[in-house]
Structure 1
Amino acid sequence: MPDAFTTRILHITTGTDETVTDLTHACETFLQESAAGRDGLLNVFVPHATAGIAVIETGAGSDDDLLAALRTLLPADNRWLHRHGTPGHGRDHVLPALVPPHATLPVIAGRLELGTWQSVCLVDTNISNTHRDVRLSFYG
């Protein structure tokens, strides 16, 4: 019988632009290897103070709309008290309050139970940190 708890760390290169990175395929691959057809929960966690996890539609402009909305809500200017790094970097530290650093998702019969247009995404507005770790954990 497979372990009731399995975890893996993904190493993601996000580059020097604000980005929404689709992790759905990596989550599905992890579940194929660890869930073995069981029901359970997938936890997706990014252990960084300036990134988050979102469940959104991608590829039809929603990912760009999310980044545009975040630019409106969290402008990259000098209003932020947290001022190290690139100009406006303080906003990146506020991001996880709006896009949390985690998501817990249902797994049914070893498959991620998402809606038709939903994807699991890493949201990263910190252009100074080009590498992120994302922990996938299955409990079932």
Structure 2
Amino acid sequence: MGPRKCEVCNEALSKYKCPSCLVPYCSLVCFKKHKEIPCAKPVSSEEKSTPVPESLVERPLTAEQPGDVLQKLQLEAIASSSEIRDALKDGNLQKLIYNIDGSPDAENELDKAMGAEVFRTFTEKILSAATESSQL
């Protein structure tokens, strides 16, 4: 399957897909325009029939310092990074993230995940993308 056309501008070939709804887009400008309208990940027929474990229900997030919260531009840079998206294709990394997200003691799971090279590399890529976008 070859490159698809950007579904936001309908002009350029898409290089990326929205992490939420998988709509193809070509640039950060198109990503921002797409995100003006809320979207959601398409639900597969398998997911429709699978109940969501209680541990995966959204829980409130807190930050000790306001500076610990990423800004919108930083989040967009992370979401549009092909390097990060490629890293997320790794099954071992997916399992580590799933374990952290589904754990009642996420901080402990995060500490354990930091022992894995694939997770440390992934976090370094995220920090690099966030740092680069905040310097623009």
Quickly name the TM-score band, shorter chain normalised: under 0.3
TM value normalised by structure 1: 0.23
**What TM-score do the two structures reach when normalised by structure 2?**
0.24
Higher relative contact order (CA 8 A, sep 6+): 1
Greater helix content: 2
Which of the two has greater strand per residue? 1
